[in-house]
Structure 1
Amino acid sequence: MKHLFYLLAILFLIHTYAQDRNVVSEIKKESLLKTVSILSSEKFDGRLPGSEGYDKAAKYAANKFLESKLKPLGDVGYFQFLNVEYNKIDTPAVFEAIVDSITIKYELGKDFVFRGFSGANSFTLPVAFCGYGLSRPDLGYDDYQNVNVKNKIVIVFKQNPKWKIDDKDWGTNYPREKSLVAKQKGAKGILFISLPNDEKPQPLIGSILHGEGEQPTDFPQLHISLQAANDLLSRVGLTINECQTKIDEKKKPFSFLTRTKAKIVATTFYQKNAQTMNVVGMIEGSDPKLKNEYVVIGAHLDHVGSQAGLLFPGANDNASGSAGVIELAKAFSSDKTKPKRSIIFVLFASEEQGLFGSKHFVDNLKISKEKIVAMLNLDCIGYGDSIQVGNGKSSPNLWQIAKEFDQKNFKLMVSDTWSGGGADATAFHEQGIPSLYFVSKYSYDHLHLPTDTVETLNPDLFEKIVKLAFLTAKQVTDGKYEREEVKK
């Protein structure tokens, strides 16, 4: 009888393992890439929260949750609503330099982009170079002290200095903050430039990470190329590299009028409170007790939109993670062995703007946060050559589960990890919820660029990361992991 019991137990384990393998095998790169192609298409216009394109993407995701028979957990159906700032950048969109009598016309996407929260205006005005765009009399440093920028356009470095005065921080370097300083000094618009002396200066990215403060709706904000900056400095016989060097070596302002002009035409439509939504659904657990405990699997659905017809597709960031969540929902729904714990699938809004969707989700939980055993976040999982799982220093037991499954199946996971959450896992980590952040290593070559398209993705790696996330999540949903104390 004892031998029969052991035999049945072994057969059960073999059957369960085979079922798991069958479900994992149904996670296919072709399905993942199809979803990414749809989400990163022109139809969804870069998925900027508050826009029609994002709403279409959210409806598409909700229909996918419905196909997987997820229980709706939103305010209305699958939608959990929140309000965010929204800014549409439309045509006409013009940036030109006027050097003596010569007009140099620049191309959107190649020579300049708008900051996501650019204001609208149209003018041709003189240009002033104002270093780092900082006015910090408390530190004895003011880029505006010896230059009159009233009714002018200012050029400033986008980033803050890497050096300090009296070992004190400069504070944030958000574009809105620097724009409001320039506007207060009398400027009419601002041109940001990446630090030219960096080994790899930041490219012209689309971004809606803007910082606090009221929106200067009549104040254009552009990020321009180093070549365009040098064109505007050509009358004074300096390059932008030389300007940075002068400031950094002496740790003193070096600001001046360039004796050139620029033409800017910026067309925008701003809403202070635009409605957007997270997309939330659930598979209820099968165990009478464990079903009251939850695993959250999430990714951000949003990206940075488009500018006057210039599309930022966001295939890797983060149509890939969103496709992963949709595929995982389908896999768990089709699994004949139902999870013992309940699984909440969520696609967050407004990660790019400041993690607003995930913060809203955590701040408005309909369940006790203590009942959430783990959160798995998928962000930028389609491009690169290996797998990185973040937040392992804060949730080491959870991280070890992923590491062991990778060793058995893929051998693609690097040992490097971090603490403190990261991206949408941050809001959960801060509430003491164990979290992992799945990302592909070397994932950011096309970050926030028009070139972040589905054609650049690594399909095999993409598929394996989603499979690893499934295996990790299944271990947790089956009750084989107990919630650990999060290490801060």
Structure 2
Amino acid sequence: MKINYTHVLCLAAVAFLAGCKQDKETTSVITGDEIKSHIAVLADDSLMGRKPFTAGETKAIAYISSQFKKEGLEPGNNGSYFQDVPMVEVTSTPSATMDLSGPKGKISLNYLTDFVASTRQEVPEVQLTNSPLVFAGYGVVAPEYHWNDYAGLDVKGKTVVVLVNDPGFKSGDSKLFKGDTMTYYGRWTYKYEEAARQGAAGIIIVHQTEPASYGWSVVANSFTGAKLYLQQQDKHMSRCKVEGWITEDAAKKLFASAGITGDFRALARKKDFKAIPLNQSITLTVKTKLKYSTSHNVIAVLKGSTTPGEYILYTAHWDHLGIGKPDAKGDSIYNGAVDNASGVAAVLNVAKAFAQLKEKPKRSIVFLAVTAEEQGLLGSEYYASHPIYPLNKTVADLNMDALGNYGETNDFAITGKGQNDLEDYVAEFTKVDGKKITGDKNPGAGGYYRSDHFNFAKVGVPALDINNGAESTAHGEAYGKQKQKEYGEQHYHQPSDNYTADMDANGMAQVANLLFKVGNKLANETTFPGWKNGSEFKAVREKALK
């Protein structure tokens, strides 16, 4: 075949110039000042901390939807910018003691000091009365790891006692689950779900600080007061009657009474571990108060030019903690400037950047600001279980949460690094810019399961959560680490997480620009990114795409 080299060179030149044009259009189009302008509004005292069901919610979602409309984006939910998210507020009050009875007598555990307990069941009261206790190891059923702590076990009417994290943590075996990197099977939320699937009457998780990555005070504080849950048709009657935790010291007493001593984590991670009846029973009552309300996700869409039935999703949560306990300065409004007005501001600017492209993306772009992340990722959970756009046609979720306010960095941190192919897209762009990628500083803490992207991962959609790294471009890594530490210790979930005029949002813009490039590339492809081998979400996605 005769080749016309002149023609080939011309085509190559056209392709190169087209690529340059697209790169120019998608390079650093978002600025720190633009990000700050949105944070200033969303973190203002007048929004009262953006708590769901308050006037602060009304103002927040009105602002977000008005910005989508201003950029010419279509309402994302059948003509509306809003998706109703029905919730129930459950205030659980357990009895003062949890009584454990067995052949060697009775052990009484004290509320908050030794145990916490709550229920999701929407009834005035639940009871465990002499429910047999069973030690079910880590409470894990993981076919891909050939692991089943419930094998041959009938737990109906019984209460299971399980360990936090998964068998791989501190096992010394990097091939056991993911070694020290927590899988979803290590999360306490999974353990509650699995116990319910198995038909258990109750579930008690043993707290240990290192595998949990937080102290007992965090557990005790989290299980007091009202908790929000998504409303369910069965009123959560399919969940265990009681979901709770006990301290490590209380667990040692319980296990010792059953003849289990020593390192019970090592015992439970043995390949031949079988659930152990503890020859004791639990008696506990939990009374409830119920309140029903509806919050809202905010959603907009930019229709694709040639493949509008496939979707790239950008997410960030708009909610924060509202008005609470005053700090030392008397400030009681939890404005959440970083957490997560920053993420919403970034999504708004990414939406503007897409809307202003001369050549519209081939696939549709969906922008979703979700509610009640601070209450347990509820807004994203609701969307994932009530999707407006088909999940098997949703190419990816790109999430932004609590972006760093300490300027540009030479590195980007990928939460749960090693999960899916979206990381390869990030690597492609960061390499061009001379930037680095890092993973979790504490992979055993399970950070990948703690923000809204996780609910999309859970249903198989490749999901990416990314933030600024620690290596400050202007001041070095020590400075960046200090700023991260300062935010975590002094401002995270505190009234001091405020907007200030001198806030450095250039790092936030860095992340927004990077995810704009990633999303634009995805939006103009025909392929679907997948999960990497070893991911617990790979099988779900592959089944959905069949």
Normalised TM-score (structure 1): 0.64
For residues 415 and 19 of structure 1, the distance between their equivalents in structure 2, rounded to whole angstroms, comes to 29
- Residues 158, 31 of structure 1: alpha-carbon distance in 2 compared, 3 angstrom cutoff: farther
Indicate which of 290, 294, 297 corresponds to 2:314: 297
One-letter code aligned to 1:434: P
1:349 paired to 2:371: yes
For structure 1, the residue ranges without an aligned partner over 5 or more in a row are 88-116, 120-129, 145-153, 175-193, 215-243, 253-269
Q: What corresponds to 2:451 in structure 1? A: 423
- 324-333 or 304-313: bigger deviation: 304-313
Native 8 Å contact 2:77 2:388 kept in 1: no
Indicate which of 301, 311, 314 corresponds to 1:282: 301
Q: What corresponds to 1:453 in structure 2? A: 498
Q: What corresponds to 1:369 in structure 2? A: 391
CA RMSD of aligned residues (A): 4.2
Q: Percent identity?
A: 23
Q: What corresponds to 2:438 in structure 1? A: 414
Q: What corresponds to 1:359 in structure 2? A: 381
1:26 paired to 2:29: yes
One-letter code aligned to 2:425: I
Q: What corresponds to 1:46 in structure 2? A: 49
User: Deviation of residue 302 (structure 1)?
Assistant: 0.7
Q: What corresponds to 2:100 in structure 1? A: 137
For residues 101 and 310 of structure 2, the distance between their equivalents in structure 1, rounded to whole angstroms, comes to 51
Q: What corresponds to 1:98 in structure 2? A: none
User: Deviation of residue 170 (structure 1)?
Assistant: 7.5
1:390 paired to 2:415: yes
User: Deviation of residue 331 (structure 1)?
Assistant: 0.5
User: Deviation of residue 318 (structure 1)?
Assistant: 0.8
Normalised TM-score (structure 2): 0.58
Matches within 5 A, 1:2-151: 2-74=5-77, 77-85=80-88, 135-137=98-100, 141-144=107-110
Native 8 Å contact 2:87 2:228 kept in 1: no
One-letter code aligned to 1:414: T
Native 8 Å contact 2:47 2:56 kept in 1: yes
Native 8 Å contact 2:44 2:499 kept in 1: no
User: Deviation of residue 73 (structure 1)?
Assistant: 1.5
For residues 343 and 14 of structure 1, the distance between their equivalents in structure 2, rounded to whole angstroms, comes to 25
Give the secondary structure class of the aligned counterpart of 2:359. Answer: coil
One-letter code aligned to 1:389: I
- Residues 323, 133 of structure 1: alpha-carbon distance in 2 compared, 3 angstrom cutoff: farther
Native 8 Å contact 1:390 1:421 kept in 2: no
Give the secondary structure class of the aligned counterpart of 2:438. Answer: coil
Native 8 Å contact 2:315 2:400 kept in 1: yes
Q: How many residues align?
A: 368
For residues 423 and 508 of structure 2, the distance between their equivalents in structure 1, rounded to whole angstroms, comes to 19
For residues 400 and 52 of structure 1, the distance between their equivalents in structure 2, rounded to whole angstroms, comes to 42
For residues 271 and 64 of structure 1, the distance between their equivalents in structure 2, rounded to whole angstroms, comes to 35
User: Deviation of residue 245 (structure 1)?
Assistant: 12
Native 8 Å contact 1:278 1:348 kept in 2: yes
For residues 201 and 458 of structure 1, the distance between their equivalents in structure 2, rounded to whole angstroms, comes to 33
- Residues 211, 143 of structure 1: alpha-carbon distance in 2 compared, 3 angstrom cutoff: farther
User: Deviation of residue 344 (structure 1)?
Assistant: 0.7
- Residues 365, 274 of structure 1: alpha-carbon distance in 2 compared, 3 angstrom cutoff: same
Native 8 Å contact 1:83 1:275 kept in 2: yes
For residues 436 and 345 of structure 2, the distance between their equivalents in structure 1, rounded to whole angstroms, comes to 20
For residues 72 and 63 of structure 2, the distance between their equivalents in structure 1, rounded to whole angstroms, comes to 14
For residues 246 and 425 of structure 1, the distance between their equivalents in structure 2, rounded to whole angstroms, comes to 35
Deviations 1:397-456 (A, max 9, x none): 211111221222251531447796542112211111111112345463422111112348
User: Deviation of residue 368 (structure 1)?
Assistant: 2.5
User: Deviation of residue 75 (structure 1)?
Assistant: 5.6
User: Deviation of residue 480 (structure 1)?
Assistant: 6.3
- Residues 358, 440 of structure 1: alpha-carbon distance in 2 compared, 3 angstrom cutoff: same
For residues 504 and 226 of structure 2, the distance between their equivalents in structure 1, rounded to whole angstroms, comes to 27
